[in-house]
Structure 1
Amino acid sequence: MPYTAGPYAGTRLGGAGPAGAPYAGAPGSAPYGLPRRTTNGLAVASLVAGIVCCLPPLGLVLGLVALPQIRKRDQAGKGLAVTGIVLSAVSCLLLVIGLATGGFSSAWSDFKEGVDEASRSKSPFSLRTGQCFIDDGKLEEYTTDVTIVDCDRPHDGEVTGGFKVTGHDKWPGEDAIETIADKRCETVNAAYALDTWAVPQDVWLYYYLPSSQSWRLGDRTVTCAFATEKKPFSGSVRSDATTLTADQEHFLKAVNPIETVTYREPEGDPDEDFTGNKAWSGEMLAAIDKARADLGQHYWPGASTTPVAELRQELGAASKKWRELATASDVDAYWDAYDAAWDALPDSADARTALGLTGTPPEGEGTSA
């Protein structure tokens, strides 16, 4: 049987990165070295001017002009430019006086852009829940810089939360960290985006992890996110208690477990793993029965009353078909009941639409509950 990856599918990581740099997980990522980049000359000049202190305002201007150039040309030297800016900041007043003469009209535009760039550029370590970002490393394995942007603008990812790894006195190894991140971030993402149909098709589970080097410096933070390696997406995917009505939240918490279990269908078909497939179909049956019960325990107002009631009836019919699958005596009986069970899963689009939720799943996804 085909295996379908879900929106919270895990990621695969590997390799070693620069000291102190978090490494990131993304679908299909593979270990490789960081590409060699040229260093921006203005960034170097800014640092030198800031250190020598002969012309502090010059160091500030050079640093702020260098930042947008570094971003546009994908150069190194961002740290040099920021350091030069800090060392020269005490002469901001002199810089304003110089700009007022009109002699730096061309540099003023880059100056303002540089100020904005400096304020929005962050380390992945400093990302916070709800922030949308552009990964300056193009979501490659090791990332040192991300740029915070408004979620209405195109972006590579959105932070869903994070946690600290505990229970390990020593570096547990990349595999152990990845295993923890896969499980914990799946839970974090699921709670952050209850309206899973509103998550674009190519947006997946993603996370930034401590490296072995940063671990030695005390870093224990895993940052969870939704992100894409393909075309940037616009708009927030957040749909939790802070953005949903009580009716919307109750509905999604009732039906989402069905969707989650569908993604756990064993890769091996019943001929290869009858026990595993039968256990999974039992989980599906339990999720369907619980969703039907949970929907029946809530008052559904207005336009949602009828479609939710119809959905409950359809879940009842689906339960009978999945019970036949879950209690199949052998492989042949399992296959006989398999298609009918899947076909019985109801389409919840009408109920979702009536509740003001996303009524169309991402392209390529099914429309079952």
Structure 2
Amino acid sequence: MTIRAPFRSPRGISAVVALLAVGAAGCSDVVDSAKNGATKAARQRSVFSLSTGDCYNPNSEKIEGEALAIELVPCDEPHRGQVVGEFNIEEKGGFPGDEAVTAIADERCPAEAGEFAPDTWALPEGVGLSYYTPTAESWATGDRAVSCTYTKESGEFTGSLKAGAKSLKPEQKTYLNGANAVYDALWMNQPEAENVEEDLEGYKAQADAVATALDAHLDGLRGIEGTETGKLRSRLEETAGHWKDAAKASDAEAFYVAYDPAFTGLDPNDTVAARKELGLATTVPADDAEVWAS
């Protein structure tokens, strides 16, 4: 699973360009255009000034690429992104490279986002995790900051995504922590090779990671009362067995035999009833629905 990662621009550089087109439009249209342009210009901020909770609009339609500045907007107005966490890279010495910086953000940002908005099912459709990271040039000036954001690839959403873990009931937090860890283990350990035959050990390692996460999830579910939660727990206990079989597969054929029911057992549609019982969002994200539908 690819996570988009916009890059930070060199520190101290900012560019604000307001284009006010005056054509054949009527006077009121010209005034409105001028007001909108002036508001957008006044809201321009350096990407280095972003703070957790800030809602913003990128100045480019493209999410990826170097950014010099963003438009900071009130969260109750339509916007494309919100900062959901920040941290500094502790690496010392020279710039470790774009891939290394991205790998650090890949590891840290999901946890930061999970604290800000634990239930990814409650996010607006089309919103995904992205981040601003240092470039080689900004690194040389001392920049080590990473801003984790939820950004909508196209279109806008309104309102803050803030729904911190502290606002959850204990059973909701337990469920989400466990479920999120399972799917993180699945996607974050996905081998690059498309065929199991090309990297059996890599796929077995992924299966082992998922099985371990499932065991932890099941431990949490055993402490939650509820008919539907109990049914889900029983299904996941069987699913965990399939993942363990896949992790111990002696060859690719044995892996495939175990993997099919293991993957099917993680179908998010099978968790809807338990989520409803726990008072959590019940609409399967479109991307997840598409993966399991295929």
Q: TM-score, normalised by structure 1?
A: 0.65
| Equivalent position SS for 2:148 | strand
Structure 1 match to 2:26: none
Identity between Structure 1 and Structure 2 (%): 33
Structure 1 match to 2:228: 307
| Equivalent position SS for 1:328 | coil
- Output one character per residue of 1:180-219: Cα deviation in whole Å (capped at 9) or x when no partner: 2332223322333321222345322221223344334433
Structure 1 match to 2:3: 10
- Which of 24, 31, 46 in structure 2 is aligned with 1:123? 46
Question: Distance between the aligned counterparts of 1:146 and 1:276, measured in 2?
Answer: 40
**Structure 1 residues 129-144: aligned runs within 5 Å:** 129-138=52-61, 139=63, 141-144=65-68
Verify: 1:236 aligned to 2:160, yes or no: yes
- Which of 190, 194, 203 in structure 1 is aligned with 2:114? 190
- Which of 155, 162, 171 in structure 2 is aligned with 1:247? 171
Larger Rg: 1
Structure 1 match to 2:208: 282
Count of matched residue positions in the alignment of Structure 1 and Structure 2: 280
**Structure 1 residues 141-180: aligned runs within 5 Å:** 141-180=65-104
Cα drift, residue 282 of structure 1? 1.7
- Which of 240, 252, 260 in structure 2 is aligned with 1:319? 240
- Which of 219, 235, 255 in structure 2 is aligned with 1:334? 255
Verify: 1:266 aligned to 2:191, yes or no: yes
Structure 2 counterpart of 1:278, which letter?
K
Cα drift, residue 160 of structure 1? 1.0
Cα drift, residue 173 of structure 1? 3.9
- Output one character per residue of 1:133-175: Cα deviation in whole Å (capped at 9) or x when no partner: 1112333522222222233432121101111222314444434
Contact residue 124 and residue 145 of structure 1 kept, 8 A = yes
Contact residue 208 and residue 223 of structure 1 kept, 8 A = yes
Cα drift, residue 115 of structure 1? 8.0
Question: Distance between the aligned counterparts of 2:160 and 2:74, measured in 1?
Answer: 9
Structure 2 counterpart of 1:134, which letter?
N
**Structure 1 residues 215-230: aligned runs within 5 Å:** 215-230=139-154
C-alpha change, 1:361 and 1:237, in structure 2 (3 Å) is farther
Cα drift, residue 294 of structure 1? 1.0
- Output one character per residue of 1:27-50: Cα deviation in whole Å (capped at 9) or x when no partner: xxxxxxxxxx9x97xxxxxxxxxx
- Which of 251, 265, 281 in structure 2 is aligned with 1:344? 265
Residue segments in structure 2 that go unaligned for 5+ positions in a row: 22-28
Verify: 1:205 aligned to 2:198, yes or no: no
Question: Distance between the aligned counterparts of 2:266 and 2:105, measured in 1?
Answer: 31
**Structure 1 residues 29-44: aligned runs within 5 Å:** none
Moved over 6 A (4+): 106-115
C-alpha change, 1:71 and 1:210, in structure 2 (3 Å) is farther
C-alpha change, 1:343 and 1:182, in structure 2 (3 Å) is closer
Contact residue 6 and residue 130 of structure 2 kept, 8 A = no
| Equivalent position SS for 1:218 | coil
Question: Distance between the aligned counterparts of 2:97 and 2:32, measured in 1?
Answer: 47
Structure 1 stretch displaced more, 350-359 or 212-221: 212-221
| Equivalent position SS for 1:146 | strand
Structure 2 counterpart of 1:174, which letter?
D
**Structure 1 residues 350-369: aligned runs within 5 Å:** 350-366=273-289
C-alpha change, 1:109 and 1:322, in structure 2 (3 Å) is closer
Pairwise CA RMSD: 3.4
